[in-house]
Each structure stands twice: as structure tokens, then as C-alpha cells.
Amino acid sequence: MPASQPTIEEFERKINDENLGFYQKIEIERFSEFAKIIGLETGVDIDEIYEIIKKDKVLVEIGAGYGRAIQALLKKGFKERVYAVERVNHLVNYMRHLFVEQENVKLILKDVKYLKLPEKADTILWVWSGILELSLKEQEEALLQLKEQLKPHGKIIIETPYQDVKFIGKKSTDNYIRFETDWGKIEAYLSTFQDIKLMSEKVCFNKLEKKLYKTNKDLTRVFYILS
């Protein structure tokens, strides 16, 4: 059954700062196990969209975590500049070691909500559900700010679960996904196509494409490409 429109209270909620502790305490091994569980560890998401981004000169990944997606990009042969934006110290330190020899990978320790990039981007990637860790209002505000940091023909590529979650967390009827571990919890809002469409119109993108794909665990997930 399609979810109804959120109430004003639901729309106004903020969740992103409450999710910080989960990633401050997560061990890299556990983090990558989660990627394995949903079948993203080898970077099938990046394989899937590589054609669209391979000629870009400036790429940005929001919430780069332990560098999974950036590694996948480098494996594909991407040689231009990639900014990895992440707000958690230990994750940025981990990536600093991982990408020590990659001059084209630039790390930015920053919260996306207050991000100001050093240059305009061709594409901003927000993969593996990153955007969901913000409430709908926070998502909209972040998209508005990110759009201003794109080149005129730039795009934002968002990747999320498709309609429901299977292996990690549980979705309730209000479209919130809740996931608890012994070191912390995550609350996330699974934006629907309609949510993304509305936000993309408000933020003045001209085009929104939706593309389904399957992960290594046969899980259907979706890309939204805003341009």
C-alpha cells in the first residue's frame, strides 16, 4: 500500500544528528559486513552507474564511510578528482590511510548539512542509503545546498532501498526504518519516489530518472538521478 503524505510534524522532524553516535562507534569490519549482507561490498552500485559518471572531472561522494564506493570507482579506473565527504573522524582517518597514494582522492571532514565544496561538481553521489539518515526536511535542505554546488549541467545520484528493506532494519508504516545494534541505533526515512519527485521539483531540477538494479544478494535497489 503506498504511504500517505507525511504530516507537518513528521516533515519537520530532524534525525540526522541522533544517528551520529552509531557511526562514531562502528568498527570498520562491522561496517563492511553490512555491505556484504546487502550485496554492495564489491561496488555493484558503482558498476551500475559508471557509464553516467566516467567522463566527469569532479565527483563528490556524500557520507563516504570507510571508502567502499571510492574504492569501487578507482577499481573502474576513475582518475579525475573525487571528494569524499564524511562527518565521522575515525572513518576519515581510515580513508586517509586507505587512499594515501591516491592524489585524486580528497577527503573532507564535514557534515553535509554545512558543506561548502572547494569547487563545483559534475556529479554528487549519495549512495548506499546515505540520504535516508536525514529526515525528509533535512533531505530537502541538503539537496538545495548541494544543488548550488553543482556545475550547470551537474547531477545528483541518490541510491536507496526500493520500497522496503530486507536484511538491515525494519520499516514501519510511517516509512521510517529503525535499526538497533549493541553500540547504537539508526533512524532513517525511506523517501518514496513521490518524495524525491517533490523535492527535486522544489529544488528546481529539470529531470528526474529512476533506475532499478539488483545487488549481489539479489536485492532490488533504486537510483534517482536528478539533473
* Contact footprint for ligand SAM (CB under 6 A): 16, 23, 63-65, 68-69, 85-88, 91, 111-113, 127-130, 133
In angstroms, what is the minimal distance from the CB of 206 to ligand SAM? 26
- For residue 123, the minimal CB distance to ligand SAM (Å) is 14
CA end-to-end distance (rounded Å), the chain: 29
- Please, what is the minimum distance in Å from the beta carbon of residue 173 to ligand SAM? 23
Least gap, CB of 62 to ligand SAM (angstroms):
6
Nearest CB to ligand SAM, comparing residues 112 and 190 = 112
Pair 155, 225: CB distance under 8 Å: yes
Cβ nearer to ligand SAM, comparing 38 with 203: 38
Q: How far apart are CA 69 and CA 52, in angstroms?
A: 15
Pairing of strands 150-161, 121-126: parallel
Q: Nearest residue by C-beta to ligand SAM?
A: 63
CB of 203 to ligand SAM, least distance (A): 17
Walk across the sheet containing 220-226 and list its strands.
Answer: 105-109, 81-86, 58-62, 121-126, 150-161, 220-226, 208-214
Of 81 and 87, CB closest to ligand SAM: 87
Q: Which amino acid is at 136?
A: L
Cβ closer to ligand SAM: 13 or 113? 113
d(C-alpha 62, C-alpha 132), whole Å = 12
CA–CA distance, 216 with 96 (Å, rounded to integer): 28
Query: 58 or 88: whose CB is closer to ligand SAM?
Result: 88
Residue 160 dihedral angles phi and psi, to the nearest 5°: -145, 170
